[in-house]
Amino acid sequence: MEHNHNHTQVKDVDNRLATIEGHIKGIRQMIAEGKSCEDILLQLHAVTCSLKKVSKKILNDHLNNCVKESIEQGETETLESFANILEKYI
C-alpha cells in the first residue's frame, strides 16, 4: 500500500543526486575526450560511493518515517516489504 510520507531528507537527497548527475555527465565527457581508463574508473568509483550514500540516506529515512508510520497504523505487511528492500542492500 502506497502512502505519502513526510520524508525528511528530500532536499539533501535531491542535491546529492544532482551532484551525481553532474559527475555522470563529466564521465561521459571524459570518455568522449579519450581520457585514461584509470581516471574514468576512479570517477566511476566516486559515483558508485555517492549512490551508496544516497541509498543509505533514503533507506534510513524510509525506516524512520514510512515503515515506522505504517507499523503505528497497524500495517504489518510493511515490515515484510522493508525486509525485501533491505535484503537488496545487505
Position 76 scores a pLDDT of 83
pLDDT of residue 48: 97
What pLDDT shows up at residue 5?
58
Catalogue the E-assigned strands of 4-89.
none
* 63, 82 Cβ separation under 8 angstroms: yes
**pLDDT (0 to 100) of residue 73:** 92
Q: Take residue 6 and report the three cell numbers written for it.
A: 513526510
Mean pLDDT by 10 residues, the chain (90 residues): 64 95 98 98 98 93 91 89 90
Q: Domain-by-domain residue ranges, the chain?
A: 10-89
**pLDDT at site 8:** 74
Amino acid letter, 15? N
For residue 35, count other CB atoms closer than 10 A to its CB. Answer: 14
pLDDT at residue 9 in the model? 81
CATH class of the domain whose range is 10-89: mainly alpha
